[in-house]
Amino acid sequence: MNRIDLAEGTVYPRSAVRQGETTYFLARLHAEGGRRLGVIGETAGFSGTTAAGGAILVCPLTPGNAAALRSRLLWLNPGPLGCVASFGFGDRIGSATPGHIQALRAADPAGALAPVFAQQSVRENARSGRTPQQVVDDAMWGVFQEGWRSPWGADADHIKTTSDLAAFVAAGYSFFTIDPGDHVDNAAHSEPLSTLRKKAASLPWDVLQASLTDLVSRFCRRPISLNGISLTIDETVLLRALAKYGRALAHAVTVAHEITARMAGRPFDLEISIDETDTPTSADEHFIIAAELSRCGVPVVSLAPRFVGKFQKGVDYIGDLADFEHELARHAAVMRHFGTFRLSIHTGSDKFSIYPVVARHSRRLVHVKTAGTSYLEALRVIAVSDPGLFRRILALSRARFEQDRKSYFLDARLSEVPEGGALDNADLPALLDAFDARQVLHVTFGSALDEFGPQIGSLLAENESQYRAVLEGHFVRHITPFVRGDDEPD
């Protein structure tokens, strides 16, 4: 990385910005190894120590200093992005944003994709020991370091209850993903009509602001023609959809209204995610869900169905590609019919075989979410730079896998993951390309960060350029299919 050397540290050149009579920059100190904010000029609101004869205030990267900087450099605040093609970069460690930006600049110089640099779920925060404020601040320091001036988002991912909201709202999040999956009735997917009738009758119709008679009249009168496909929603199809998703819809409406109240006029993006369910979402169900959300005044910018096949952590799509493309085309037709939201692909990292299909059928009006893949690339750097630490992480991951896997859908087999002592140093990085090892390392991130977090952070700081480079190479592969022309070959 091209830097300007100073006596006490190295300035990240893209960070330097002058506004009015004050200059701001980010530097890495040689002696301490950490990053610091430098302020030359008006320093009110910042906390730090003086350097260079009092000319520079050198500030630690605290929440208070982050807030003060955001109040002056407004592009450091995340904001709503709207219904546009976008990409979500999860960062479980807090140091990946510079590499994410480097990948965007390499693969998407025209800015076709809007980035969400702060993306963390409630579950990920709990396992990584980070707060919503820390996630936003870490992303913001990366944005500042790299001189990113375009809009960017912060996604409070997989919000399940209204009690999850306060910390995300206070931290300035601009994107909320409601996950009502706990209220989906998976059994309804195959239950008889008599059971479906009883379940539909007992839905919270007051929250849904409708009645079963209303919905039968609205959806079952005639076939629905849209964008080259036809949906025939008879009473059985409707009852099954309502029994399966009705309570989830009501919960989503309740949480959405609570977000609106808490944001108190601040604009935000809203997504509904029903991807973590046992059975796929049909195009009929997608249509009903989208129509009812709209009728209930829930203005989503993206919707994440449960697609056919398997979307597992850190590995490519598992399933029949022809079946996936057929169903995706139907979901994309539903999306285009409404014209107010995009498709969202959850567990979207490393799904290289389906990216061209998704880009083509969605006409690139899509949001892709990635999370742990940046953590895995961090482990790749560690495997090369400190094989001993990597072996300790691997041993812990093997020991914790059966416990940590419980909240994930996985096909990984621990028996296929070798112990670190059985491998030469040169063979360790290849584990990051092996199906079973990759998943075992992925889902045990919380245990690894709890045990080795400081060592991991220090090692990545020492090998900053290497981490940026592996992230760039990895995410260029993710991004490229969504920014090239539709008529280009897959």
Out of 258, 271, 275, 377, the active site residue is 271
Which tokens sit at 211? 């009645």
Task: Please report whether residue 170 resides in a domain.
Answer: yes
DSSP string, 96-161: -HHHHHHHHHHH-TT--SEEEEEEEEHHHHHHHT--HHHHHHHHHHHHHHTT--S--EEEEEEE-S
| Residue 157 annotated to the active site | yes
Q: Residue type at 407?
A: S
Q: Are residues 107 and 245 in the same domain?
A: yes
H-helix or E-strand containing 198? helix 193-201
Q: Report yes or no: 135 and 153 within 8 Å, Cβ to Cβ.
A: no
Distance (Å, whole) CA 323 – CA 317: 12
Task: Please report whether residue 487 resides in a domain.
Answer: no
Quote the pLDDT of residue 7.
59
Q: Are residues 280 and 134 in the same domain?
A: yes
Quote the pLDDT of residue 227.
81
Out of 108, 138, 155, 157, the active site residue is 157
Q: Are residues 268 and 172 in the same domain?
A: yes
Quote the pLDDT of residue 31.
67
Query: How many domains is the chain built from?
Result: 3
Quote the pLDDT of residue 6.
54
Q: Are residues 178 and 289 in the same domain?
A: yes
Q: Are residues 109 and 146 in the same domain?
A: yes
Which tokens sit at 482? 């969504």
Nearest Cα neighbor of 301 from 332, 274, 269, 278 is: 269
3-state SS assignment for residue 267: coil
What is the span of the domain harbouring residue 259?
76-186+222-372+476-482
Task: Please report whether residue 115 resides in a domain.
Answer: yes
Nearest Cα neighbor of 49 from 68, 65, 33, 71 is: 65
Q: Residue type at 182?
A: D
Write down which residue in 37, 61, 85 finishes a domain: 61
H helices present in 300-361, as ranges = 321-338, 355-361
Q: Are residues 248 and 390 in the same domain?
A: no
- State whether the Cα torsion 26-28-34-40 is positive or negative: negative
Cβ atoms within 10 Å, residue 489: 5
Q: Are residues 139 and 254 in the same domain?
A: yes
Task: Please report whether residue 425 resides in a domain.
Answer: yes
Q: Are residues 105 and 56 in the same domain?
A: no
Quote the pLDDT of residue 325.
98
Distance (Å, whole) CA 85 – CA 115: 9
Task: Please report whether residue 429 resides in a domain.
Answer: yes
Q: Are residues 97 and 47 in the same domain?
A: no
Task: Please report whether residue 98 resides in a domain.
Answer: yes
Write down which residue in 61, 85, 109 finishes a domain: 61
The residue ranges of the chain whose pLDDT is under 70 are: 1-8, 31-33, 485-490
Residue 394: phi and psi, rounded to 5, are -60, -45
Q: Are residues 153 and 302 in the same domain?
A: yes
Q: Are residues 273 and 398 in the same domain?
A: no
- Domain holding 293: CATH number? 3.20.20.70
Write down the pTM of the prediction: 0.95
Task: Please report whether residue 194 resides in a domain.
Answer: no
Quote the pLDDT of residue 293.
98
Going by the DSSP 8-state scheme, the letter that residue 406 receives in this structure is: G
| Residue 275 annotated to the active site | no
Determine whether 339 is exposed, middle or buried from the number of CB atoms within 10 Å of its CB (0-12, 13-18, 19+).
exposed
Cβ atoms within 10 Å, residue 292: 24
Nearest Cα neighbor of 84 from 55, 114, 109 is: 114
Which tokens sit at 440? 């075992």
Q: Are residues 49 and 81 in the same domain?
A: no
Task: Please report whether residue 378 resides in a domain.
Answer: no
